[in-house]
Amino acid sequence: MKRRYVSLSTGMSRLFGYNYGEYPRHSFLSFSYAGKEGSAYPVQLLSSGYDEWHRECFRQRINSDVFSVEYVQKGTFLFRQNNTTLRANPGEIFLVRLGADSSMQCETETAQKRTVILCGTLLRRILEQIGLDRINLIIPGDRERLEAALLYGADAVYLAGKRFGMRASAGNFSMEELAVACAKAHEKGAAVHLTCNTLPREDELKALPDFLRQAQSAGVDAFIIADLGVMKMAERYAPNVQRHVSTQLGVINSATANVLYDMGASRVVLARETPMRDIYEIRANTPKELEIEAFVHGAMCVSFSGRCLLSNYLTGRDANRGACAQPCRWKYHLVEEKRPGEYFDITEDKGTYIMNSRDMCMIDHIPELIDAGVTSFKIEGRMKSAYYAAAVTNAYRHAIDCAKAEKPLPQIWRDEVDKLSHRPYCTGFYYGDPGQHYSETSYYSDAEVCAVVEECDADGNAVLTQRNRFCLGDTVELMTNDHEPAPFTVKYMENGDGDTIEATPHAMMTIKMKLPFPCSRLSVLRRIKQR
């Protein structure tokens, strides 16, 4: 094997050996030799730039005196640090920590990354203060949610590219990241549905053909579309990708569904306002080839299928372009025009919250939805945490499997949705007007995430990353993708250096402990709150 090795012991790269490998091509924006034996500056930029690697290129750093931020743009790197092995994909960042032994290797034909290397007398202290002295790999939020949803049983995931999606502030995917996401989903036998559900303005149309072509090349299985013009453009520029009609288009009857089917739609996502009795009728009066999707869990926009004008009017942020400020959940008072500054609560029947919606939860009604003809159950949660994606997917996975087997849903899985951050639950419009909730507006949950499993061996010895403080003697619960939630008492813990600890006070710190049974990465340690 042809390799060339690099050692980084005093902060500067130095070749040792000539093993015929092709050394990575560098294009540095800056490079300084000042302070190579230990910088005299509190923080110093040592180098920054661009690396292009080829298959089997290899680099090793021994007891590094520098801190390196490595952002992967293309390809895949295998990264090892202090006996932990990670795979870094496009859009992810791996951190070479001070004092660590590490190595990196290119796993694909080519790979590209951007690198920033820092040193300095105060660098270690700064990294400790912000928690970056304990992190190996940073995964963008949507990528982490994607992995969680796939691990916990999703048959399909919906996500967005950098444009034309209804969640402008989410950690959306570049085309390179989208290709990786599709590959990950397809490995699990799951589909990827790309949101293309904004209402594009005239000056945006010219960018759509390339966006659609690239998305098809990335491997997406379906577009979620809310605009009839976009529907026809998708047929022309991405003919191999299915077209699903977004809830934003407001499908609430069979006549509309049939027209959309004739236009090439393979699935319609029903408006949230559709009652259960109408779903039976829609199913009976549409082709069996047309799939029906319905929302079963999550936030409910107070509007007609999300087409809201309030945000744009009050804040200039267009809800139909992915930038909703959610003013329907603000607290309001009345002011009489001749009494400025005197605020009066609206307290008679409806409280002070004009349109304060509850959250939908249909986990107890999955059998009826299946009987009504719903093909796919949709969970709203793209702006939620990876834990939320994992727990809610886990709960509904069991609910669907139980319904198909004609078995009742055990209470332990019903309780899972209460362990998520949520507003008071209701059944939406399925059984009539859901009403409003006025007594309180805050979200609440019955659980708090303590740590996330990074790796675990066959004996249950695990490495975790802290999320919230917990201590020896605490009773916690282990949530996994293949086992019922299991409570146990924390009896022993170590930090990343192998020192015995009694608590986990530092954000994102590394924890080593024995779990009740072996589990997969992204299993969750949580504390159940007492009400």
Q: What is the DSSP string of 423-468?
A: PPEE-TTTTS------S----B-SEEEEEEEEEE-TTSEEEEEESS
Write down the pLDDT at residue 293: 97
pLDDT grade for 6, boundaries at 50, 70 and 90:
very low
Question: CB burial class (10 A; 0-12, 13-18, 19+) of residue 185?
Answer: buried
Q: Which CATH number fits domain 6-138: 3.30.1280.10, 2.60.120.10, 2.40.30.110, 2.60.120.560?
A: 2.60.120.10
Question: CB burial class (10 A; 0-12, 13-18, 19+) of residue 344?
Answer: exposed
Question: Has residue 178 got a pLDDT over 80?
Answer: yes
Cβ atoms < 10 Å from Cβ of 261: 19
pLDDT average, residue stretch 16-22 = 31
Give the C-alpha separation, 446 to 87, whole Å.
Answer: 34
- The percentage of residues in the chain with a pLDDT greater than 70, rounded to a whole number, is 80
Question: Has residue 238 got a pLDDT over 50?
Answer: yes
Nearest to 452 by CA among 386, 529, 392: 386
Reported as a single tens digit per residue, the pLDDT across 461-495 is 999 989 899 999 999 999 999 999 999 999 999 99
Residue 92 near residue 72, CB atoms below 8 Å: yes
- Lowest-pLDDT range, 116-125, 139-148, 461-470? 139-148
Angle between helices 141-151 and 175-187 (to 10 degrees): 10
Give the C-alpha separation, 80 to 166, whole Å.
Answer: 37
Going edge to edge, which strands form the sheet with 77-81?
58-61, 102-106, 77-81, 84-88
Write down the pLDDT at residue 141: 54
pLDDT average, residue stretch 332-336 = 72
Write down the pLDDT at residue 25: 54
pLDDT average, residue stretch 116-121 = 86
DSSP state of 161: B
pLDDT grade for 437, boundaries at 50, 70 and 90:
low
The set of residues, in sequence order, having a beta carbon less than 8 Å from that of 517 and lying 6+ positions away, is 460, 478, 483, 486
Write down the pLDDT at residue 3: 39
Looking at the DSSP assignment, which residues form a beta bridge with residue 218? none
- Angle (CA) 467 469 470, round 5°: 115
Question: Has residue 168 got a pLDDT over 50?
Answer: yes
Question: For strand 102-106 and strand 58-61, is the pairing parallel, antiparallel, or unpaired?
Answer: antiparallel
Write down the pLDDT at residue 511: 92
Question: Has residue 244 got a pLDDT over 50?
Answer: yes
Reported as a single tens digit per residue, the pLDDT across 224-234 is 999 999 999 99
pLDDT grade for 445, boundaries at 50, 70 and 90:
confident
Which of the pair, 328 or 223, is modelled with greater confidence? 223
List C-alpha distances in Å: 493 to 53, 98, 270: 39, 23, 49
Give the C-alpha separation, 154 to 399, whole Å.
Answer: 12
pLDDT average, residue stretch 319-329 = 66
pLDDT grade for 441, boundaries at 50, 70 and 90:
low
pLDDT grade for 442, boundaries at 50, 70 and 90:
low
pLDDT average, residue stretch 307-315 = 67
Place of tokens 């209460």: 418
List C-alpha distances in Å: 242 to 178, 268, 305, 326, 482: 17, 11, 22, 31, 31
Which of the pair, 166 or 285, is modelled with greater confidence? 285
Which of the pair, 45 or 286, is modelled with greater confidence? 286
Question: Has residue 390 got a pLDDT over 90?
Answer: yes
- Angle (CA) 493 499 503, round 5°: 45
Nearest to 74 by CA among 92, 56, 49, 95: 92
Write down the pLDDT at residue 10: 32
Place of tokens 């829609």: 282
Cβ atoms < 10 Å from Cβ of 264: 13
Token digits for 235?
A: 């047929």
Question: Has residue 47 got a pLDDT over 90?
Answer: no
Give the C-alpha separation, 392 to 396, whole Å.
Answer: 6
List C-alpha distances in Å: 122 to 35, 38, 40, 397, 451: 14, 11, 10, 49, 29
Q: Which CATH class is domain 447-528?
A: mainly beta
Coil, strand, or helix at residue 86?
strand
Angle between helices 276-284 and 254-262 (to 10 degrees): 40
pTM of the model: 0.72
> Would you kindly state where each structural domain of the chain is located, as residue ranges?
6-138, 142-328+354-426, 447-528
Reported as a single tens digit per residue, the pLDDT across 53-110 is 877 677 777 777 888 899 888 888 888 887 677 778 777 888 888 888 888 888 787 8
**Per-position b or e across 48-77, b if 16+ CB within 10 A of its CB:** eeebbbbeebbbbbeebbbbbbbbbbebbb
Question: Has residue 356 got a pLDDT over 60?
Answer: no
Looking at the DSSP assignment, which residues form a beta bridge with residue 524? 452, 479
> Which CATH superfamily is 142-328+354-426 part of?
Aldolase class I (3.20.20.70)
Question: Has residue 172 got a pLDDT over 90?
Answer: no
The set of residues, in sequence order, having a beta carbon less than 8 Å from that of 256 and lying 6+ positions away, is 250
pLDDT grade for 8, boundaries at 50, 70 and 90:
very low
List C-alpha distances in Å: 107 to 56, 111, 507, 525: 7, 8, 31, 32
141: enclosing H helix or E strand: helix 141-151
- Angle (CA) 142 187 164, round 5°: 35
Give the C-alpha separation, 265 to 251, whole Å.
Answer: 12
pLDDT grade for 276, boundaries at 50, 70 and 90:
very high
Residue 290 near residue 266, CB atoms below 8 Å: yes
Contacts 24+ apart (CB under 8 A), 423-428: 423/299, 423/357, 423/358, 423/359, 424/358, 424/359, 425/358, 425/359, 425/360, 425/361, 426/358, 426/359, 426/360, 426/361, 427/360, 427/361, 427/362, 427/365, 428/272, 428/295, 428/300, 428/360, 428/362
Q: What is the average pLDDT score of the chain? A: 82
Place of tokens 């159940």: 528
Give the C-alpha separation, 25 to 270, whole Å.
Answer: 52
Give the C-alpha separation, 145 to 193, whole Å.
Answer: 14
